[in-house]
């Protein structure tokens, strides 16, 4: 009986890890789908259809004709050929197929573990929350795509940031569940303790930075200022005019959005350096390794952000920059997990 229980627990642990890897790959593919402007290539939700890609010339023509009806085609891509359309189609197709696979891979084993009644109910509850978010993410994904089908050549940057934030929450919950299950603990993420609030602040800052990164991506705001450390010749973008306090929250302004994205990076760096001094001054041994890790990822992220900008938004650098932002969030969560008892 104990051997069987051990097998079930081991299976549950590897299921969590595999789910985590699949969601991570999904985020990478989603980022590349955005960077290649492929997200609007499939103009219908196709909840129960579209499992197989087009297999005939007629089907390809049908998909292409639907794409020709949206602004992105007739305003930006009017000279696109069918072969070129197939490239952006496959990016979105892979993105959607991965979403379906993740949903099924998470749902079916979770039902199995539930009826086996061998896994701690607290772990199953947290996994059920993840499943709910995965299903919700599919709806949010279509809500995002829908915003680019009428009157726009791309999706709403607000909806894009919501879609990305949901993905981050899902992968963060999975990561927390993996840490808890590995340590056979049930640490709660939130506890109303003063000493915890630095970590909440840090995680919030990183999430906010990723949201502004999505704004920059959604608006193509990286194209307007491609110099560093100054924005052309100024610290503050010269195309931004502030006449009222509300102008500071104009998230439609490309220069202002990029300015916030840059400066959030500086605030995160300064916060971590100050906290690093605190760790070494107080010789908190258990936090040294996770601190080294997050600092290493942070500097890679900054390097990738700068080189992406200076390269004229090289797609590979931009993708690596997004991937690194996810790693930075996970490192912050790991630092917090190592801190709490």
> Do the Cβ atoms of 231 and 301 come closer than 8 Å?
no
Q: What is the pLDDT of residue 3?
A: 53
Percent of the chain with pLDDT over 70: 99
**pLDDT above 50 (res 1):** no
CA distance 330 to 146: 30
Can you tell me which residue has the tokens 């932002």?
A: 325
**Host H or E run for residue 169:** helix 157-183
pLDDT in tens, 216-229: 999 999 999 999 99
Give the distance, in angstroms, between the CA of residue 157 and the centroid of all CA atoms in the same chain.
Answer: 13
Asked whether 173 and 130 are in contact (CB, 8 A), the reply is: yes
Over range 62-76, report the average pLDDT.
Answer: 93
- Asked if 144 and 301 count as a contact pair (C-beta separation under 8 A), the reply is no
Predicted confidence (pLDDT) per residue in 172-226, tens digit: 999 999 999 998 888 888 888 888 999 999 999 999 999 999 999 999 999 999 9
């Amino acid at each position: 009986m104990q051997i069987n229980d051990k097998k079930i627990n081991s299976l549950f642990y590897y299921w969590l890890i595999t789910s985590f890897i699949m969601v991570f790959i999904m985020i990478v593919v989603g980022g590349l789908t955005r960077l290649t402007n492929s997200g609007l290539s499939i103009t219908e939700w196709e909840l129960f259809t579209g499992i197989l890609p087009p297999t005939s010339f007629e089907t390809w023509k049908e998909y292409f004709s639907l794409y020709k009806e949206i602004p992105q085609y007739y305003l930006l891509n009017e000279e696109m050929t069918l072969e070129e359309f197939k490239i952006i189609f496959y990016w979105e197709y892979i993105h959607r197929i991965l979403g379906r696979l993740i949903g099924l891979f998470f749902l079916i084993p979770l039902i199995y573990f539930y009826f086996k009644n061998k896994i701690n109910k607290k772990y199953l509850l947290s996994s059920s929350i993840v499943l709910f978010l995965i299903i919700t993410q599919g709806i949010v994904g279509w809500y995002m795509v829908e915003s680019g089908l009428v009157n726009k050549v791309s999706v709403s940057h607000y909806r894009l940031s919501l879609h990305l934030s949901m993905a981050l929450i899902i992968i963060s919950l999975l990561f927390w569940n993996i840490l808890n299950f590995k340590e056979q603990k049930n640490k709660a993420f939130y506890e109303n303790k003063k000493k915890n609030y630095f970590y909440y602040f840090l995680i919030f800052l990183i999430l906010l930075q990723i949201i502004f990164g999505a704004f920059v991506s959604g608006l193509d705001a990286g194209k307007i200022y491609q110099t560093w450390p100054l924005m052309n010749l100024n610290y503050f973008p010269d195309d931004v005019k502030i006449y009222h306090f509300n102008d500071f929250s104009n998230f439609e302004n490309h220069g202002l959005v990029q300015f916030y994205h840059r400066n959030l990076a500086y605030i995160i760096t300064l916060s971590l350096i100050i906290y690093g001094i605190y760790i070494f001054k107080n010789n908190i041994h258990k936090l040294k390794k996770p601190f080294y890790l997050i600092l290493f990822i942070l500097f890679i992220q900054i390097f990738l952000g700068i080189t992406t900008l200076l390269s004229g938004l090289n797609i590979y650098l931009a993708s690596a920059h997004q991937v690194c932002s996810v790693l930075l969030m996970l490192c912050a969560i790991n630092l917090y997990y190592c801190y709490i008892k």
